[in-house]
Amino acid sequence: MRIDILSVVPGLLESPFAHSILKRAREKGKAEVYIHNIRDWASNKHKTVDDAPYGGGAGMVMMVEPVVACMEELRSRRQYDEIIYMSPDGELLDQPMANHYSLMSNLLVLCGHYKGIDERIREHFITREISIGNYVLSGGELAAAVFCDAVIRLLPGVLNDETSALSDSFQDDLLAPPVYTRPAEFRGWKVPDILLSGNTPEVEKWRHEKALERTREKRPELLKKH
């Protein structure tokens, strides 16, 4: 999978892709992530990428020309499955959406900044808007990093244990059950006996019951689907 991310603050995106699972996914060639600085496509000598809104009002708007120049250059080299704009106006990201995008080959992700992007970019280029929650971030970069993480970790061969993405919280609309590791007892706090029993079917049954119990307690709305 290839993801091209367009940003006016590319530095914000460096760290999330330089560590842990996303780093490994890139090194293994499972995910290619390219971060483009929109400013490189600005045509004026000051490399301006934002301007005041027509009609007045506070804040600046991301200009249409540099964004379109960047998108058209990228689009001339390959076909994108989706051109995504990270925005609080978008559809809320959830696990089925992450699963859906993990099957794609080429994604282009635009991060907004300032007061937003010139509406003509949305009308003529954006095929989907995605939000990571009902709150406003200073820009789309952190949201893009969240989106890419949720998608890339699902690509085959990215996680060491192939089944571990399938047993995540939300893959079956249930939260994950509690997990423990050594020592079996710490300050008198014991790991449940069943997990030390070696009885795999009973362990699985216990995990499912705990997942249900936890979901009922913390996120009862998820159980409506069951």
Residues 6+ apart with CB under 8 A from 210: 177, 178
Of 33-41, 66-74, 129-137, 189-197, the segment contacting ligand ADE by CB under 6 A is 129-137
> Site for ligand ADE (CB under 6 A): which residue of 8, 140, 153, 215?
140
CB of 111 vs ligand ADE, minimal distance in Å: 7
In the chain, DSSP assigns E strands to 2-7, 32-37, 50-51, 61-62, 82-92, 106-111, 128-131, 185-186, 189-190
> Site for ligand ADE (CB under 6 A): which residue of 132, 151, 174, 211?
132
> Site for ligand ADE (CB under 6 A): which residue of 110, 131, 174, 210?
131
CB of 23 vs ligand ADE, minimal distance in Å: 23
Residues 84-123 interacting with ligand ADE (rule: CB under 6 A): 86-88, 112
Of 125-133, 172-180, 185-193, 194-202, the segment contacting ligand ADE by CB under 6 A is 125-133
136 binds ligand ADE (CB under 6 A): yes
71 binds ligand ADE (CB under 6 A): no
Nearer to ligand ADE, 1 or 130 (CB): 130
CA 57-61-65 angle, to 5 degrees, is 140
Nearer to ligand ADE, 133 or 157 (CB): 133
| Structural element, H or E, at residue 215 | helix 200-218
DSSP 71-131: HHHHHHHS--SEEEEEEEEEEEP-HHHHHHHTT-SEEEEEEP-TT-B-HHHHHHT-SEEEE
SS3 142: helix
Residue count (the chain): 226
CA dist 101 and 89 (Å) reads: 19
Q: Structure tokens of 82?
A: 């989706």
Of 18-26, 118-126, 131-139, 169-177, the segment contacting ligand ADE by CB under 6 A is 131-139
Contact residues for ligand ADE, defined by CB under 6 A:
86-88, 112, 131-133, 135-137, 140, 143
